[in-house]
A and B are shown apart, each in its own frame.
Chain A
Amino acid sequence: MLRVREGDQTSFRLLLERHRGPVIHFVYRMVQNQAVAEELAQEVFLRVYRFRDNYEPTAKFTTWLFRIATHLALNWIRDKRHEKLQDSLDQETADGVTRQVPDRSRTVEQELVYRAKLREVRQAIESLPAKQRAAVMMHKYEELEYSQIANVLSCSESAVKSLLFRAYESLRGRLAHMA
């Protein structure tokens, strides 16, 4: 990032290549809409580029990046909470097109079971308050440490633990039967 700050375009491309996937996946799991996730992820990298001169290496770059991504995702969720813009789970099964990469090794029956399971997982995640959702996504999928999550969410580590344990408690209540 320091090289990007000095105007090195190649470094920006490398940075994009390394972090684009995690950022889009994180935002997608937050907003549950692929088009919106890509739009927000574009905004994340645009902001990284725009504010490259202001970047100070006081925290890990990943933390800075996820702070921008979380901020945008939480704002979007707050602004659109009354609209149903999530990718429709029913449509996903009704039109026979899954937006995820299909696993060709599964039989039709297994595929149906998998989709039902996926729908339940998405609904369980969607039911979490936005900040708990962000904490779980960063902990489970991005494997960030408590201190990093705390930095991203601008709160203490103990607050992060509290968020996470409440979230996992809710998820256990909804998903533990899937074992």
Chain B
Amino acid sequence: MECSLKAGVADELVAGYTARTLDSQTETDFARHLGGCESCRELLARQQAVWSALDAWRPQELSPDFDQRLFQRIAEQEQTVWWRRLFQPRWAWAPALPVAAACAVLVAAFVLKDAWQTEAPSHSQPKARIEQQVVHALDDMDMLSQIGVDAVVERPGSPEKL
């Protein structure tokens, strides 16, 4: 007798029935179908044989130091400094880093040079001005002594020669 189920449906029902993942109504309906369907019974028997064979492959024992090794690797990962991460190959822009660094150095050098040039006169200007004033004052005093005039500093009460 031909199976009344559509192609693919029998596979799904057989897999679900074997894995016991069908809901109770579907399981009951399929169990009823199995009673009258030779091909589904045969398919189910073969699927159950596969299931039982796969059950024989039990998990292996885990290495006792698995956790220890994992936490050690996590600690190493945590210790990785940020700049080393930048140079790790997973960063797509890592090849541009040397160029960017060179540009940064050039810009910094340009800015510092410019700053030095603008700051240098600001330190030397008052000094030059004072020297100029001193020279002028000495010239003036020299000129006054030559023409016989004494410079007098007037103070309240008593005039005093310089």
Contacts and interface: CB of A to CB of B under 8 A. Distances in A.
B56 interface: yes
B54 A140 contact: yes
A178 B67 CA distance: 38
Most buried by A among B11, B60, B66: B60
Contacts of A99: 60
Chain A contact surface mostly: helix
Interface in A59-92: none
B66 A42 contact: yes
A21 B62 contact: yes
Interface residues of B, number: 31
B23 to A, nearest CB: 12
Contact of A34 (B45, B60, B67, B74): B60
Chain A's interface size range is 35 or more
Interface string B6-25: 00100110010001010000
A46 interface: yes
A71 to B, nearest CB: 15
A122 B45 CA distance: 21
B79 interface: no
B50 A20 contact: no
A140 B46 contact: no
A140 B66 contact: no
A124 B53 CA distance: 10
Contacts of B12: 161, 165
B70 interface: yes
B127 interface: no
Interface string A19-32: 01100110011000
A27 to B, nearest CB: 11
A132 to B, nearest CB: 13
B62 A24 contact: yes
B70 A29 contact: no
Interface in A137-179: 139-141, 143, 145, 161, 164-165, 168-169, 171-172, 175-179
A121 interface: yes
A121 B57 contact: yes
Interface of B: 8, 11-12, 15, 19, 21, 45-54, 56-63, 66-67, 69-70, 73-74, 77
Given A165-B12, A179-B46, 11 more contacts: A16-B67, A21-B59, A50-B77, A117-B53, A118-B56, A121-B56, A139-B19, A164-B15, A172-B49, A175-B49, A176-B50
